[in-house]
Amino acid sequence: MAVQNWIDVLKSSQKTALIQDGKHCITYYHQNFFCLVGTMTRKWRQKSTLGVQGVWQVEVGEPVNVPAALNSDVIKENCSNPVFMRKDTKTSFQWRIRNLPYTKDVFSVSMEPSERCIIIKTTNKKYYKKFSVPDLDRSQLPLDGAALSYTHANNTLIVSYQKPKEILTLEQELLKEVKKLKGTGEGDVDCTTQ
């Protein structure tokens, strides 16, 4: 089964743990990828065809935006544009799209099983987003329409997908692996002087 293959890949990866402010930050090193998992984030980086590390792809958490200088003439996007991010809970995958001032009845959230993606669109044609669920893709699990739900509050659309039991089991196994790691704290670096 593909879920077991993914567990084996993560278990065989070289892992480093850092404990900062009581929170664990785990880094997985594998020949094909480099993954950084923090308390609220998951980022991936893969090598390019030339062997150089690529840019970070944020999978879970808020993307890091580099602020432009206050007096610069740089063109930047409007702060009222919709912001798409993923914030998971213990039992569901959750995506939040901020700055969407429409009512709930304007939104249509559907699933396209053949393309393995979720589609969000509005009836007024002001917003359209198509995205996949990487966790299900990695584990090669099918999409289930009954697990999908959405709500709208405070100009934020929240789309939830209940995690399948295979993913919950995978996360429990990974949590056991993480607890076995001995992490280093901020001041625990072993510096020997000559």
Share above pLDDT 90 across residues of the chain, in percent, rounded to a whole number: 38
> And the tokens for 166?
């295979």
The SS3 call for residue 135 is helix
Q: What is the torsional sign of CA 72, 75, 81, 87? A: negative
Residue 38's pLDDT is 63
Mean pLDDT value across residues 155-182:
87
- In this structure, the strands spanning 107-112 and 117-122 are antiparallel
Q: Model-level pTM? A: 0.73
Residue 50's pLDDT is 76
**Alpha helices by DSSP H, 13-145:** 134-139
Residue 183's pLDDT is 65
Mean pLDDT value across residues 41-64:
71
Please state the domain extents for the chain: 1-60+80-180
Mean pLDDT of the residues in the chain: 80
Residue 155's pLDDT is 94
Residue 55's pLDDT is 72
Q: Between 42 and 135, name the one with better pLDDT.
A: 135
Give the span between the Cα atoms of 116 and 140, in whole angstroms.
Answer: 10
Residue 73's pLDDT is 66
Q: Which of the listed CATH numbers 2.30.110.10, 3.40.50.300, 2.60.40.790, 2.60.40.10 matches domain 1-60+80-180?
A: 2.60.40.790
